[in-house]
Structures are given as structure tokens and as C-alpha cells.
Amino acid sequence: MAILTDNWLLDFLSLFITLLAVTLTWIKYSHTYWQRKGISTPPTKFPFGHGQSLFTQSESMGDFILNIYKYLKQRDQKHGGLTIINAPAYMPINLDITKAILQNDFRHFIDRGAYYDEINDPLSAHLFSLEGEKWKNLRAKLTPTFTSGRLKMMFDTLVTCGDQLKTEMDKTADKEAVEMKDMLGRFTTDIIGNCAFGIECNSLKNPDNEFHGYFKLFFLNTFWENLNGFISFIAPVLAKMLKLKIVKPKLANFFMKVVKDTVKYREENNIYRKDFMHLLLQLKNRGKLVDDNSVLREDNEKKQQVSLTVNEIAAQSFVFFLAGYETSSTTMTFCLFELASNPDIQEKLRKEVQEVLDRHENKLTYDAIMEMHYMEQVINETLRKYPPLPNLSRICTKNYTVPGTNLVIEKGTAVLIPVMGIQHDPEYYPNPEKFDPERFSELNKKERHPCAFLPFGEGPRICIGLRFGMLQTKVGLSVLLKNYKFSINSKTQLPLKFNPSSFILSPVGGMWLDYIKL
């Protein structure tokens, strides 16, 4: 019996060692993928390839993308290749190639390659991650929700939240520094809570509000959560088999309950509000958006087929919340840092804000916001220097020959558009570390390649909420600059370093600013 047991153990160990050796050899061979194609690639590290620093959280995504871009650019390459464990990823450097991928030849790169699972992780199946016809149909239905007319409909909510931001800021003005990332995260939480659900989150009054706490949780990942992310990136089929969840269960349960309760309450009580949820409910119940001033004769018409399920409403609300909460608060945070570092620019922008408000009876209106052109330049320069998403992701859906080359990108290959690298390239932005809003004057914009500025993406998958994000950013900055003067506090870590545990660009140690009331 002992002999049989020993033989079994020896056989098992032999099989295990053989499989391990084969796997490691296969991974090592995978790291030569681009070299075998004759494409430049930075040195890899075993076993995670170019993703080692991301996996171990020793480097932020922004720094990672910038360093890879510089490596390839310094070698005068049109493009290059990366390998994350065993998965190849293509990185264009030439902007004409970038434009072809995002616009001209979009049919080859229609999908982002983001993992989602409609059954086991329903909140992951949102517009950002959906693929093919599902994405196309949903995009067509949701696009009208962000027209200027519907943004105006929500504008009063933004102004109300702006007033609440001022009330909270007044409490410590001239007394103590404020951590702007947290403060502005609470501000955008209140805006999105109101605009998405008609819910008074009161995050500004109550920093421990559960909405704010749950969404902060989403953007900070542990080692095991990063491992989940890696598996879903390199092996999405395996990830679905394992039923991996990108959205943390605690957050998913909370959010699904909020959405279901909101939908049920509104439908049972025939509640109407000027917000995003109202528009989603129209898509659920009528299959299209209807002008609220029109007369609906539903009694005499066939009832339309339901277009959005409650789970789909939840998923779209979720991505609206995530995108609106984090990217806008991050942009405002870095913008205030640069304005505090450049008092002359801060004063010039403050002057514009006051002059515009003077023309509008000192009221913050939608039309007033649209007249703040220098503010738009300042925001765009912030987005250039600190893009919230340092790269754009696409997946090749059918073999593609890169224009002007013999390289064929194979179906299934990931594509990383290096936003952080492009926007810090001195070829397009001389002295790129300098904060200079004049780069975005109408004349200077016309002289640059259209793909030299990509914070919102480009082409058919450009950010659908671009205008809403800019609107809430302008409202927040208008309130702050009209009422306060900012300077850097010693708690802010200089030079700035980016948090490696967050895939959104975020400063390590927070952003502490001193401010005095004007």
C-alpha cells in the first residue's frame, strides 16, 4: 500500500513539474511574439512581461504608459509591441496610425476588450465595456440623453450642488488646508446622485456618506483584485468560466438595491424628475426618449417592447456614476493644483469668471458657463497634462494591416493608445511639463494633429458624457475661483507622484491646498 502511495505521489509530482515547465516555457516564448514579427519592444521581465510593475503596483498606469512611449519614440518607432504575461498588445506611436485605429478603420477595432459578464457581474455590462451590435444599439439609444437641451434640464441641480460646495468650503476658509481630491469627490458624488437618481446624497455635509464611501472603494484595488483584473485582461474566457467579478460584491449589492428601489418607487408613484434616471426609464418603458412636452397617446397605440431591463439600467447608471464621479473630481483637483502653482493663470481665469458673471446678473447660468472660453483652455491643458485615463484600450476584431507597413495585427490582439505619452510629447507640446493654457487657443488647436489630444477618446467610441463632464467641472471651478484664492500647502507631496493602486490618475498623499475667502 505504501509503495502504491509513493508511486502516486511521484507520478503527480512528475506531471506537475512537467506542466509547470511547459507553462513557463510557453510564457517565455510568448514574450518573443513581437520580436518574431520584427517589431520593437522594451525588455520584458519574467513572468509578467511588461506588466510586472503594474501587477506588483510598483508603477502607476500613467508612468507605465509614458515610459513605454518614450522608449519607442526615442528609437524613432512608428509603433511597438508589449506582452502582458502571455497576451500581446500593440501600441501605435505615429498619430496617423492612431487616427486610423480610432476613426478611419474603426470597424477593425470596434470593441475595447474590457471584460464583462452580464449574468454573474451585471454592473460590468455597461456602455464602456459592451461589444459589437449590443454596444452599437445601446450607444444609439443613450446618445440623445446628452444633448444640450437635456444638459440644460439638469443644470439647476449642478448649481445647487455648487452652492453646497461653497457652504462646506466656507467652514474652514482662512483657517486650515483642505484635501481637494476628497472634497471634490464629494461634490461630484452629490451631483451624480442627484442627476442619476434624484437622491440627495449629502456627501459634502456628511463625508461618511455611503455613496461616497462605496465609490472610493471601486478605484483602489488590493493585490488579489489586481490579479482578477489581470486574468480578465489576458484570458476573458477563463475569467467568465471562473465567474470573476470586476465590481466588488459589496458595491454591486448596494448599487443594485438603490437602482431597483428607485425604479420601483418612480414607476409606482408616477414620479417625474429632470434627471438621467428619468431618461433611462423612458428607454425601458417606451424604447425611446420622448419630448416631455409632446402628447402621448399610448392608449391608442401598441405598447412598445421593453428596450432596457432593470439590470441594464443599473449598469448604465453605474458607469455614469463612476465616470462622472472620478474623472471630473480628478480633473478639478489637478486643475486647482496647477492654478495654485501658477498664480498669474489663476488670476486671469478668476477675472474671466467674474466678467462673465457680471454680464449675467452675477448668476451662474448654462449660457454663462458656455461663455467661459479661457476656462475651457485651462481645463483642456489640465486634461493634457493629467489625463484621468492614461491610455485608451481597443481589441482587434479582425486581422488588420497597419497603414504604410507590412505588419498584420492579428484578431484578438489588444491595442493600447498611449494618451499619456502623446500628450507629453515635446513634438506636439514643447516643454510639456509647463502648464500653458494657450496651447488650446483656437489657432494652436488647428495647427496640431487631431489625435494629439485624446482625454475623451476619439471616433465612434468617444466618451458619451464628455459635455456633462466638462459642464460639472466648469461649475465647480467657477464657484471655487469666484470665492477663494488657492495656494499649495506643505502637506502636498512635491514633486507629484501618481498612485500605483489606482487605474485613474491620482496623486499620492492627496492634494492639500490652502485657501482664503475673497
How many independent structural domains does the chain possess? 1
- Classify 179 in phi/psi space as left (phi over 0), alpha (psi -120 to 50) or beta: beta
SS (H, E, C) 423-435: CCCCCCCCCCCCC
pLDDT of residue 217: 67
- Alpha carbon 419 to its chain centroid, in Å, reads 12
Query: Which of 167, 164, 159, 186 lies closest to 517 in space, CA to CA?
Result: 167
Task: Note whether residue 502 is domain-resident.
Answer: yes
C-alpha cell at 406: 507590412
Share of the chain above pLDDT 70, in %: 91
d(CA 258, CA 200): 12
Is 463 one of the annotated binding-site residues? yes
Q: Which helix (H) or strand (E) holds 69?
A: helix 61-74
Residue 47, Cβ density class (10 Å: 0-12 exposed, 13-18 middle, ≥19 buried): middle
Is the bond preceding residue 47 a cis peptide, omega within 30 degrees? yes
Task: Note whether residue 19 is domain-resident.
Answer: no
d(CA 313, CA 126): 9
d(CA 206, CA 185): 12
* 199 and 255 Cβ atoms separated by less than 8 Å: no
* 496 and 357 Cβ atoms separated by less than 8 Å: no
Task: Note whether residue 103 is domain-resident.
Answer: no
DSSP assignment, residue 196? I
Residue 67, Cβ density class (10 Å: 0-12 exposed, 13-18 middle, ≥19 buried): middle
| Helix, strand or coil, per DSSP, at residue 512 | strand
pLDDT of residue 371: 97
Q: For the chain, 518 residues long, give each residue's pLDDT as a single digit of tens.
A: 455 555 777 777 777 788 877 777 877 888 899 999 999 999 888 888 888 777 777 889 999 999 999 999 999 999 999 998 788 999 999 999 999 999 999 999 999 988 888 888 898 888 888 999 989 988 888 888 888 888 888 899 899 999 999 999 999 888 889 999 999 989 998 998 888 777 778 888 887 777 777 766 666 666 666 666 666 766 677 777 777 788 888 888 888 888 888 888 888 888 777 778 888 888 877 766 665 444 333 433 444 444 778 888 888 888 888 777 788 999 999 999 999 999 999 999 999 999 999 999 999 999 999 999 999 999 999 999 999 999 999 999 999 999 999 999 999 999 999 999 999 999 999 999 999 999 999 999 999 999 999 999 999 999 998 999 999 999 999 999 999 999 999 999 999 999 988 878 899 999 999 999 99
C-alpha cell at 5: 502511495
- The CATH number of the domain holding residue 469 is 1.10.630.10
Task: Note whether residue 11 is domain-resident.
Answer: no
Query: Which residues form the domain of 67?
Result: 31-89+118-295+302-390+418-517
CB 493: neighbour CB atoms within 10 A? 13
Q: Does the predicted model carry a pTM greater than 0.95?
A: no
